[in-house]
Amino acid sequence: MTATKRSHSRAARIAAIKAAAARQLASRGAAALSIREVARELDLVSSAIYRYFATRDELLTALIVDAYDDLGATVEAAEAPVARGRTRERWRVACRAVRSWAIANPHDYALLYGTPVPDYRAPALTIEAASRVIGVLGRIMDDDAAQRASVAPDDAGADVAGFLDVDNVAAVMPHVATGRYVRALIAWSHVFGSVSFELFGHFVGSVQDPGAYFECVVDELANLLGLASD
Amino acid sequence: MTATKRSHSRAARIAAIKAAAARQLASRGAAALSIREVARELDLVSSAIYRYFATRDELLTALIVDAYDDLGATVEAAEAPVARGRTRERWRVACRAVRSWAIANPHDYALLYGTPVPDYRAPALTIEAASRVIGVLGRIMDDDAAQRASVAPDDAGADVAGFLDVDNVAAVMPHVATGRYVRALIAWSHVFGSVSFELFGHFVGSVQDPGAYFECVVDELANLLGLASD
DNA sequence: TGTACATCAGTGAACGCGCGTTCACTGATGTAC
DNA sequence: TGTACATCAGTGAACGCGCGTTCACTGATGTAC
């Protein structure tokens, strides 16, 4: 009982540490995240943090997992209200949500999809956390395929079994034909590729209004996927 | 005359500093690049470096410019031997060259296309240097369009003038119809998006053999661009 | 309910490290007459 | 060709900074009998 009291305040402390660290991440980026600075913000001595996180990397891992989860939840929430059958609109909304989240949280986005932090090795935990967004985008493609199973025979004749993790991909979108996996991966990865290019400054000189451009891209990808128009 | 001697040895020093810095970049990444470490490698005192580069950022800028140039030259060299008319093959070869270069020089690639270095603002110089690779890929698309001007009417009806830097894009590929610009940008940026995903570990769990996958992607992009098959 | 003991949060000092940059300087290399 | 002067490369010490992590400790909170 009192045990719960102590563990409750412990949980609160952990949350406070993560929140402070997240704020620092948001304002100065992952490289600038420092245990001493976190401690300062909480009016603690730096060594106190070690009661909660054994190492800087452990704290960073927690932030990564939280960020993936936040992104996943955001995209889920954005896409949920759209009628299940309107797969193209779901796709659009989900893609927009990814981009908006990235723009609102550029350093978190960079932490997840940018250059890996040097000397940091991502534990399996983070890979699992990453799957939430993948799940949303995959489910949309899958629902579309399920609705119109007969329509498009796979044109990409390539035998994909040799170079994809077919089981994993199939688990995410069981109704999508194997021959369309490559396009699905292109569409999925391109969403992040576009956002990265925008955030990292590679559209300077070619794209003036990234928001409008992104809309076009999302529709082109929907075409590539053969999503039903509406 | 003797003036040239001094300036020659000066140029050699600058080259040596950049080479040492590039080695460190290659082995530990941009964040770990340190003027003191560079000086150590050259058996110099750290302050000596300031005779040649006013600041760490200036050195970093030089490395970025060199890296863009190296990438550009590599892709140009790879694509040059292919007959000009075989645009699809040129596209394939150029894309492969981008990927190979990235794999061979992962830290340079990350410096160019990954998360921007914190507190580093890229001068216009680097943007100019970046255009060399863009030029190669753009020229291929343009040559293809020039050869078969009549063929594909633009299907993407979007009026692109509002959100692209149409003049700049047109300068790179004057024969490509405005309506195809978005696809061209998708193809171009996706090459880097795929390479980034591979290098940064986001294909773990879905792509087993990134080389084979990349081949498929490149062909899909060629289809998207409507490049003549051969 | 009260006491003896164990657990845990947080302290404060220290270790050992590396960094970018400045500054006054020596000595060699080049220039002008 | 020789000398007086200016330019430049490189030195060595220092400034001031921040970092992650360890360790022996105090005092409060919780547990067992």
Nearest to A112 by CA among A75, A139, A138, A163: A75
- Are A204 and A111 contained in the same domain? yes
Same domain, residue pair B92 and B6: no
Q: Is residue A111 part of a domain?
A: yes
pLDDT in tens, A60-77: 999 999 999 999 999 999
Nearest CA in chain B to A164: B207
Residue A187 lies in a domain: yes
Q: What pLDDT does B150 receive?
A: 56
- Measured CA to CA, the distance from residue A150 to residue A57 in angstroms comes to 49
**B33 C-beta less than 7 Å away from strand C:** yes
Within a domain: A164: yes
Q: How far is the CA of B190 from the C1' of C19 (A)?
A: 38
Q: What are phi and psi of B207, to 5 degrees?
A: -115, 125
Residues A96 and A149 in one domain: yes
pLDDT, tens digit, for every residue of B143-191? 999 998 655 555 555 688 889 999 999 999 999 999 999 999 999 999 9
Asked if pLDDT for residue B2 goes beyond 60, the answer is no
Same domain, A28 and A117: no
What is the percentage of chain A residues whose pLDDT exceeds 70? 94
Let me know whether B16 and B38 are in one domain. Answer: yes
Tell me the per-residue pLDDT of A73-94, one tens digit each, with 9 for 90 and over.
999 999 999 999 999 999 999 9
In a shared domain, residues B2 and B77: no
Query: Once rounded to an integer, what is the mean pLDDT over residues B91-117?
Result: 96
Both B50 and B102 in one domain: the answer is no
Mean pLDDT lowest for which of A67-71, A156-160, B206-210, B218-222?
A156-160
What is the domain range of residue A8?
1-54
Whether chain B has a CB inside 8 Å of the CB on A220: the answer is: yes
Q: Which residues contact A38 (CB under 8 A, 6 or more apart)?
A: A17, A20, A21, A24, A49, A59
Residue contact A169–B206, C-beta within 8 A: yes
Give the nucleotide nearest to B33 (CA→C1'): C19
For B28-42, B112-126, B131-145, which range has the lowest pLDDT when averaged over its residues? B112-126
Domain boundary among B36, B54, B72: B54
The verdict on A27 and A70 lying in the same domain is: no
- Distance, CA of B37 to C1' of C17, in Å: 14
Nearest nucleotide relative to A45: CA against C1'? C11
* A230 part of a folded domain: no
Do B80 and B130 belong to one domain? yes
- The backbone region for A164, taken as left when phi is positive above 0, alpha when psi lies in -120 to 50, beta otherwise, is beta
Find all residues with CB under 8 Å of B222, minimum gap 6, and list them.
Answer: B88, B91, B92, B187, B229
Check whether residue B104 and residue B217 sit in a common domain.
yes
Which helix H or strand E contains A195, and what residues bound it?
Answer: helix A181-199
Per-residue model confidence as pLDDT tens digits over A151-194: 555 555 568 888 999 999 999 999 999 999 999 999 999 999 99
User: Domain holding B41: CATH number?
Assistant: 1.10.10
Q: How many domains would you assign to chain A?
A: 2
Q: Is residue A139 part of a domain?
A: yes
Helix (H, G, I), strand (E, B) or coil at A71: helix
Tell me the mean pLDDT in the region B71-90.
98
pLDDT tier, B205 (very low <50, low <70, confident <90, very high otherwise): very high
Q: Residues B83, B48: one domain?
A: no
pLDDT at residue B154, rounded to an integer: 55
**Band (A50; pLDDT cuts 50, 70, 90):** very high
> CA angle, A142 as apex, B186 and A82 as ends, to 5°?
85
Last residue of a domain, one of A54, A73, A90: A54
How many CB atoms sit inside 10 A of residue A215's CB?
18
Q: Is the pLDDT of residue B120 over 60?
A: yes
Chain B interface mutation, best of A34, A163, A180, A224, highest count of B Cβ atoms under 10 Å: A163
Q: How far apart are CA B196 and CA B185, in angstroms?
A: 16
Tokens read off for B82 = 């292919």
pLDDT, chain B, mean: 92
Residue B32 lies in a domain: yes
Mean pLDDT within B70-95: 98
pLDDT of B117 > 90? The answer is: no
B57: pLDDT strictly greater than 80: yes
What pLDDT does B148 receive?
80
Within a domain: B230: no
CATH value at residue B114: 1.10.357.10
Residues A102 and A198 in one domain: yes
